[in-house]
Amino acid sequence: MTLFSGTHPMPTGAPLRLQEHQAALRVEEAVALAGQIQSSAVQRLIDLLGDEHPFVRWQAGVSLAETAAQLRQRAHAGPSWGRQSPELTYSGLVALLRDGLQDSDSVRREATADALGLLDHEVVVDCLVQSLEDEEAAVRTSAAAALGRIADKSAVHALIPCLSDPSMWVRRAAADALGAIADPGSVPALQLALSDRNPLVRASAVCALGHIHVARSRELVEQCCADPDATVRWYAARALGKIGNTASLPALERVRRDDTVLFGQSTGAIADEAMEAIERRESGPWHWLRKHWFALRRRLRRVREG
């Protein structure tokens, strides 16, 4: 999601405290409208998708997702005596949101893409795929992130070209989405993303490969333990904790002394955890010998380090 990217700063003109108060009231309004299926309530939430404040837009999307869940539940329950038909159907709500992707306001298009991703339903994949070609990078980023939340394999073919998008935020969101989908067919494209000039994109590509349990994916992540960027090495070590095997132990050994810290853990500590995870899940005589050899080397090293 790109709600907090700073690309849509709070407008000036009114005192900041007053703006915050007014935005808080609109957030509360969006919360109160969540799950309400009346057309007026839904329309108000759709209007709030174009709000000037990112928190308001985000809450409107969350509330619309709750409304969509209510409508789907009623549709699955079928007709019921004594219950009035809702003024809006699930398909009707989706149609309204699809229209929002064509709005002239790029902020509304961006927020609408975020909201459609929260619906978590394959019916919206096609319109989000179209938004991957939007003229605004923020909209393309939100569309890619939304497709990642839905995680439908039919979107893979459209996400792969986004790895070459001019915007690094789009490239990173596309890599994250491909990781969420975890289709082995995306491995060659993610391999190319490992050569991206931006280390954050390479880190996202490493994370994506860490969700794809095939040999080629593991080999690529092992190579990333030697990446010149410390962040990429950290994510590579973590990914090998998920998909690595005993063949990954030499790569993890190379980053054991890496003291780069992210999220409170050093790369070396992550590498140690990854090696221990590999040792726990690998079986067979060859794996037994290999993992015990590396375990013995680690114990000796710890003794020497004292």
In the beta sheet, which residues pair with residue 262?
Answer: 265
pTM above 0.85, yes or no: no
Three-state secondary structure call for residue 64: helix
Rounded to whole angstroms, the Cα distance separating 181 from 185 reads 10
Question: Among 77-81, 108-112, 285-289, which range has the highest average pLDDT?
Answer: 108-112
Residue 298 has pLDDT above 70, yes or no: no
Assign 7 a pLDDT band (cuts: 50, 70, 90).
very low
Q: Give the chain's mean pLDDT.
A: 86
For 53-96, what is each residue's pLDDT tens digit? 999 999 999 999 999 988 888 876 665 544 555 568 888 899 99
Map out the domains of the chain as residue ranges.
1-150
Q: What is the predicted pLDDT for the residue at 305?
A: 64
% of the chain surpassing 90 pLDDT:
63
Assign 171 a pLDDT band (cuts: 50, 70, 90).
very high
Q: Where are the beta strands (DSSP E) in the chain?
A: 261-262, 265-266
Q: Are 163 and 193 in contact (CB under 8 A)?
A: yes
For the domain made up of 1-150, give the CATH fold: Leucine-rich Repeat Variant (1.25.10)
Q: What is the predicted pLDDT for the residue at 72?
A: 84
Q: Are 62 and 34 in contact (CB under 8 A)?
A: yes
Residue 3 has pLDDT above 80, yes or no: no
Q: Are 132 and 144 in contact (CB under 8 A)?
A: yes
Sorted by sequence, the CB contacts under 8 Å of residue 77 that are 6+ apart come out as none
